[in-house]
């Protein structure tokens, strides 16, 4: 049976402006410049200027006064105004308030938010791509027919950013059929693959790491057959027949199989370690995922024992309302004063108002972003004052998002957005903001220390270990316990993985 019932619900919805503000808050300073350029292109009422422009609170000319309709009456109001001639609207007062009030101003920067420095631009690296480098070399190959050239182009296009061909031959055959309508055999693709693998850099188009290293090693032997003959030939045998033992560093077994000494095995291993496991990176293409120009969002300066914080606002230009749009409003004030408005005139004023309101909101959002960033970073600086003063990581305190949220009065999610992808420039280097957040642990003396301090000590111990006999996680736990840090073995393993340090077996060297 179908029944009707009434229920009350409380829902919280974010407006588009709030969503955009959160996005502005999350992006770093380096990306903010592009976001501002997008807004400048989309909104003609917003422009960039050297001086601050006076911008004023606008009252809605249709719903802003006491006689304006609201709620259900607004529907009747809209219906009335679909006629060709409209009732006189209070444009005169609206325009006058906007054009004559010069008490308020909107700025993208407040005083003290940044030092007056010369404008600096981030260098942009312009280099040929890895695939372009390979395609240029195709001009030096004499193809038997057009079909062979299409196969070569398809293979190159299937090589990933590391330089590997991870697609099956059958998949490339299908791609050629769908993309070019040609039917080729697997042996034709395999034959062309051998040709592509001879291109520069050595090791490209390999299907596995083992094949990649062998291609590079054989290329070295071919180009200089008289150099390092013994170690290179031994390295080829190791990679060909005992690759698994090599990756797992089972050195005693390798010495026993080949009947060689430690020094002979070390020379062969050194030849392998000189090879590039990602040959595409040697071309010179700068990958965004591995190489970045870091633009600090905050700058902390130590002036005679006192820390000064400023926002890096180079990429946040001064924004203002367009003078042209202000002149347009002046024209409408003079023209429409004391008479009824037409549909076209109303639409023109609504368009101008929409663009100006959007520009005002964006300027306010930029200002609010800077205010939130400054408040959050100032709280972090005060919380970690000893570290920023001395640069001694042992003086960093345990700090979580909740601590800063309570100090600033901001929501935890807001603090998280500020800390994400932001950097602070100090006299000890540029640091990632989220690295200052860490849990706490208790020492044997009952003191609370940051887990960052424990990780630093763990990293220091491993860096000083004898690589011939690296410490196991159990041994590392005992050494940390002896220093007063009560820590479990699984926690040691977790911290080691977070530091990107392999297990003891993989840290072993000859």
Tell me what the mean pLDDT of segment 261-273 comes to: 91
pLDDT digits (tens, 9 = 90+) for 366-423: 888 888 989 999 999 999 998 898 888 778 888 888 899 999 998 888 888 888 888 9
Strand partners, 164: 206
* pLDDT of 87 over the 60 cut: no
Q: Residue 99, Cβ neighbours under 10 Å: how many?
A: 14
What's the pLDDT at 487?
84
145 or 14, which is more confident: 145
pLDDT digits (tens, 9 = 90+) for 184-243: 899 999 999 999 999 999 999 999 999 999 999 999 999 988 888 899 999 999 999 999
The answer to whether residues 366 and 24 touch, using CB atoms and an 8 Å cutoff, is yes
* Tokens 């840090």 found at: 485
The answer to whether residues 352 and 45 touch, using CB atoms and an 8 Å cutoff, is yes
Confidence of residue 360 (pLDDT cuts 50, 70, 90): confident
The answer to whether residues 138 and 149 touch, using CB atoms and an 8 Å cutoff, is yes
The answer to whether residues 417 and 373 touch, using CB atoms and an 8 Å cutoff, is no
Fold for the domain defined by 438-510: Arc Repressor Mutant, subunit A (1.10.10)
Q: What is the mean pLDDT of the chain?
A: 78
What's the pLDDT at 446?
63
30 or 160, which is more confident: 160
As a whole number of angstroms, the distance between CA 315 and CA 268 comes to: 51
The burial class, CB within 10 Å (0-12 / 13-18 / 19+), for 192 is buried
Q: Residue 53: which residues within 8 A CB-CB, separation 6 or more?
A: 105, 106, 319, 320, 321, 323
What's the pLDDT at 123?
46
As a whole number of angstroms, the distance between CA 19 and CA 27 comes to: 13
As a whole number of angstroms, the distance between CA 319 and CA 106 comes to: 9
pTM of model > 0.95 = no
The answer to whether residues 310 and 113 touch, using CB atoms and an 8 Å cutoff, is yes
For the ranges 40-49, 250-259, 477-486, the lowest mean pLDDT is seen at 40-49
Percent of the chain with pLDDT over 90: 24
349 or 16, which is more confident: 349
Which ranges in the chain are annotated with CATH 1.10.10.60?
438-510
* Tokens 């940044």 found at: 114
Q: Which of 26-40, 59-73, 197-211, 305-319 ranks highest by mean pLDDT?
A: 197-211
pLDDT digits (tens, 9 = 90+) for 168-201: 999 999 988 888 888 889 999 999 999 999 999 9
What's the pLDDT at 451?
78
| Residue 294 Rama label (left phi>0; alpha psi -120 to 50; beta) | beta
Angstrom CA distances, 396 to 51, 308, 384, 418, 428, stand at 41, 18, 6, 20, 14
């Amino acid at each position: 049976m179908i029944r009707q019932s009434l229920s009350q619900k409380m829902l919280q919805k974010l407006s588009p402006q709030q969503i955009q503000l959160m996005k502005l808050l999350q992006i770093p300073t380096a990306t903010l410049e592009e976001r501002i350029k997008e807004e400048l292109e989309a909104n003609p009422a917003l422009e960039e200027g050297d001086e601050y422009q006076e911008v004023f609170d606008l009252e809605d000319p249709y719903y802003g006064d006491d006689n304006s309709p609201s709620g259900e009456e607004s529907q009747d109001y809209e219906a009335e105004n679909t006629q060709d001639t409209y009732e006189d609207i209070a444009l005169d007062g609206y325009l006058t308030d906007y054009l004559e009030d010069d008490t308020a101003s909107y700025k993208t920067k407040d005083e003290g938010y940044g030092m007056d420095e010369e404008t600096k631009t981030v260098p942009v690296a312009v280099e040929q791509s890895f695939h372009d480098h390979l395609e240029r070399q195709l001009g030096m190959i004499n193809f038997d027919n057009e079909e062979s050239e299409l196969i070569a182009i398809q293979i190159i296009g299937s090589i990933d950013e590391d330089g590997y061909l991870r697609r099956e031959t059958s998949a490339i055959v299908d791609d050629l059929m769908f993309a070019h309508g040609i039917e080729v055999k697997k042996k034709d693709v395999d034959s062309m693959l051998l040709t592509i693998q001879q291109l520069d850099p050595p090791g490209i188009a390999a299907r596995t790491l083992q094949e990649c290293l062998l291609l590079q090693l054989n290329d070295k032997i071919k180009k200089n057959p008289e150099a390092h003959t013994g170690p290179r030939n031994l390295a080829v045998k190791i990679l060909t027949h005992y690759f698994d033992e090599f990756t797992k560093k089972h050195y005693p077994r390798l010495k026993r199989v080949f009947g060689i000494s430690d020094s002979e095995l070390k020379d062969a291993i050194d030849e392998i370690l000189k090879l590039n496991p990602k040959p595409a990176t040697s071309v010179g293409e700068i990958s965004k995922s591995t190489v970045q120009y870091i633009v600090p969002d905050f700058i902390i300066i130590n002036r005679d024992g006192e820390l000064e914080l400023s926002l890096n606002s180079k990429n946040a230009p001064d924004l203002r309302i367009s003078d042209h749009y202000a002149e347009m409003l002046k024209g409408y004030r003079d023209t429409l004063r004391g008479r009824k408005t037409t549909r076209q005139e109303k639409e023109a004023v609504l368009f101008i108002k929409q663009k100006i309101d959007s520009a005002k909101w964006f300027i306010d959002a930029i200002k609010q972003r800077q205010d939130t960033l400054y408040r959050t970073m100032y709280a972090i600086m005060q919380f970690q004052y000893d570290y920023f003063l001395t640069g001694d990581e042992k003086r960093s305190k345990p700090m979580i998002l909740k601590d800063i949220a309570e100090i600033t009065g901001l929501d935890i999610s807001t603090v998280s957005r500020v800390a994400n992808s932001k950097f602070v420039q100090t006299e000890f280097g540029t640091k990632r903001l989220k690295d200052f957040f860490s849990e706490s642990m208790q020492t044997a003396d009952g003191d609370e220390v940051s887990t960052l301090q424990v990780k630093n000590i763990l990293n220091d111990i491993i860096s000083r270990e004898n690589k011939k006999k690296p410490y196991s996680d159990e041994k590392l736990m005992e050494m940390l316990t002896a220093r007063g840090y009560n820590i479990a073995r699984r926690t040691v393993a977790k911290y080691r993985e977070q530091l990107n340090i392999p297990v003891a077996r993989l840290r072993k060297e000859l």
